Amino acid sequence: MKTKALLAATTALLFTTMTYSQSQIWATRMNQSGYDDKLNAIAIDNSGNVYVTGYVTTQTSPEVHQDIVIIKYNSAGTQQWKQVFDGFNGTDTNEYDAGNAIAISYESGTPYVYVTGTCYNNDNSSWPEPRHDMVLIKYRASDGAFQWDRYEGMTGQLEQYGGDAGYSIAIHDATDDIYITGTRGQGSSTSITDGALWKFDKNGNEHASSPITWNHANNLNDGGTDVVIDAFT
């Protein structure tokens, strides 16, 4: 009888704890202009501030135009700042940009926000085909001040088949080097993408051996979806 009573009490306590832990603390919603918006990634700094990235739709006519969005909230869910990033200084009109991954780095004690994703490049004067390029953007975490952006794209990649994009980002705590994995187009008007790993320093300089790419047998589409750094590098 004592065993049954103890079991019942334990079950009740467990149920109560689970119910309490699942209670919503706060919620917030982002809507740019009444169009389709989406958040793809989240990061939290040492002070409990929350950073998210994705895209906002800024127009739907005559064509859809989506831009990268980065938002900072404090631990209570109050928005601190918001940045909307239109790739290539706003020249990639009427197409799709998106933030896919976000990370926080402390450089000499100052927090910075890094975002990677993809931006549409329709500069036909420079490239034979419009395409998507991988983008890396850096902001100061305290106020959202833009620091720099970098692009990586393969000439000739057909836009309708995708192209270069960053899907995951990791930052080395000791060196502040930034690692991004995703897809890289093979170019030459092909539909094939390779898996790719890029490396940049905190000033936006790309490593000499970057990117490292791979393609499995039969030359089909490959890509990287997640990157981590171990504690021994």
Per-residue pLDDT tens over the stretch 216-233: 766 678 889 999 998 655
- The answer to the question of residue 94 being in a domain is yes
Residue 77, Cβ neighbours under 10 Å: how many? 11
The rounded distance, in Å, linking the Cα atoms of 59 and 57 is 6
Per-residue pLDDT tens over the stretch 18-75: 445 578 888 988 776 667 889 999 999 999 999 999 999 877 667 678 899 999 999 9
What is the model's pLDDT at position 13? 41
Planar angle of CA 102, 168, 78, nearest 5 degrees: 20
Q: Which residue has the higher pLDDT, 187 or 53?
A: 53
The rounded distance, in Å, linking the Cα atoms of 193 and 68 is 22
- The answer to the question of residue 229 being in a domain is no
Q: Which residue has the higher pLDDT, 87 or 161?
A: 87
Q: How confident is the model at residue 130 (pLDDT cuts 50, 70, 90)?
A: low
The rounded distance, in Å, linking the Cα atoms of 166 and 178 is 12
Please report, in angstroms and rounded to a whole number, the separation of the first and last CA atoms in the chain.
57
- The answer to the question of residue 8 being in a domain is no
- The answer to the question of residue 126 being in a domain is yes
What is the model's pLDDT at position 5? 44
Domain CATH code at residue 93: 2.120.10.10
Q: What is the pTM of this model?
A: 0.82
- The answer to the question of residue 200 being in a domain is yes
In 3D, which of 135, 188, 181 has the Cα closest to residue 158?
Answer: 188
Q: Which residue has the higher pLDDT, 26 or 5?
A: 26
Total of domains in the chain? 1
Contact 131, 65 (CB under 8 A): no
Average pLDDT of 120-144? Answer: 77
Quick one: CA torsion of 54, 56, 62, 63, rounded to 10 degrees? 0
CA atoms within 13 A on the CB side of 14: 6
Helices (H), 78-200: none
Average pLDDT of 75-92? Answer: 83
Residue 155 is part of which domain span? 33-219
Amino acid residing at 82: K
The region, left, alpha or beta by phi > 0 then psi within -120 to 50, assigned to residue 10 is alpha
Contact 41, 99 (CB under 8 A): yes
- The answer to the question of residue 175 being in a domain is yes
- The answer to the question of residue 164 being in a domain is yes
